[in-house]
A and B are shown apart, each in its own frame.
Chain A
Amino acid sequence: MRHADLLTLAQWLSPSFPVGGFAWSHGLESAIAANEVRGPDDLFAWLDGVLRHGSGRVDAVLLCAAMAPGADAVALHAEAEARAAGSERWAETLAQGGAFARTVSALGGEAVPELAMPVAVGVAARRLDLPPGLVAAQYLQAFAGNLVLASVRLIPLGQTDGQAVVARLSRVCEAVAQEAAVSRLEDVGGAAVLSDLAAMDHETKDVRLFRS
């Protein structure tokens, strides 16, 4: 592991990297509007479910698969769309993956194609001397951190309470990422049905701060 590579990854996944993550709530906005997520414990449980049994695990597996030498990134991108819970979830990963790829490509080195976010990050991370499980763990933590930020605006939730949720989730991110690194995509299934319903419901909501 090279320290410089770890810094590059931290830069890519930091909230200041211009992928527009602040615009998306992954369906949390509807779950909060429906009173299903009211405080830090609910938020932890919602994110825990999404990470372990929903899009978090799928994204981690896609990312690890995309890091493999010779991986077919276009096929993984199609798989990401096939597994998307709804149109806004797909728009969310497509917009962020596109912005991520454009920014990384502009910074030099081999160009990264505009693909679904976890696939784009996985392709870019091939140049880093870092194990896929570590990249995926960081990716999941960044994903959870972004959704906690969204919740701080919506619930309302204190900044410290939000960070406590992120801290509690670090073990979940690590465990899911380690499993993802050794999982075959065709064996990965989910059960985060209510989070998927929340993301689909969001499309028809009148008042929306977020694009998903």
Chain B
Amino acid sequence: MEFLYDIPVIGMVIQFVVYFIVQLPVLAPTIMAAAVPIILGALCGFMNERSGVVNIGIEGMMLTAAFVAWWTAAIAAQVLPDLSIGIMGITLPLLVGLALAILAAMAVSAIHAWLSISVRADQIISGTIINIFAVGITGYLNLLISQHSPPSAGQFQDLRLPSALLGIPVIGTLLNSLIAVGPIALSMLISVIVLQVLLFRSRWGLRTRSVGEHPKAAETVGIDVIKLRYRNVILGGIFAGLAGAYLTIEFGNAFQGEMTAGRGFIALAALIFGRWTPVGAFGAALLFYASIGLQRSIQFAPPEGALGDFLATLPPQFYSALPYIITIIVLTGVVGRSVAPAAVGRPYERESKAA
């Protein structure tokens, strides 16, 4: 195999692919852990944009949920008994935090729905309002409670699988990164599959797609465009809630101001790169973080020869910026075009009302 590496250019590509495959078992769990909130955020965007509502407020919804999950779980831990069901570190306070985070994100989504569907305000502005408000309110409360902040309620744990299972090559790696994870990450995996099937195989999916592509036609066959959009946007909040809660009660156990750090926008990028499908967004998020994970492994275990020399010249920031650059390229249609649902961003006005 090594002799192939001497071929100019192609050799380097082959070596790169081999290197990546060799490193993958080590990287996979970290890539997955970083990608979970992105995928969940993208699912929120998916629910919005497929039904014709732009959502750039995912970032703010996630941040709100992250704060609510952490804070309410901490308070619940002080007043409620610390009941535990014994797997994945699930305790009553954490469940309370999770539920309230989801509700909070759904409430924010409801405001977004009201502004963009009923008021027919510009949807980008609505998203901007959510982002600014979330940074403000979470930072404000976080600073106010910092003096008498209750101790953290802890975090969910990864599912434990027997080590014999994890020892199997390939399957073990897959199990380790996909199944041996916390409850929110597991729910993400299930949601991706379920939503993908529902979108293309159910009545709801067909209706959602028609409302996102051609609401007028949908209305003429008796679909209530307004109601469906409301429902999808508010349900989309569930995923933003899960994404936020993941950051403060599963991946970590503390809240910091502006801790989402642009994840809501990467989620948007993943959604676009994944062509507005759940599985596509899943793949896109993994690819994005593979690029960042790769940067770390190049730091610690650089490949040999010309490839190593070449990769060493690329600054770490290059790998971080890569997802965004790829998204722009995909949007321009140079390699494989990504096309938005046709009615996205347009408030719908009923025929009877307009006449």
Chains A and B are bound partners: no
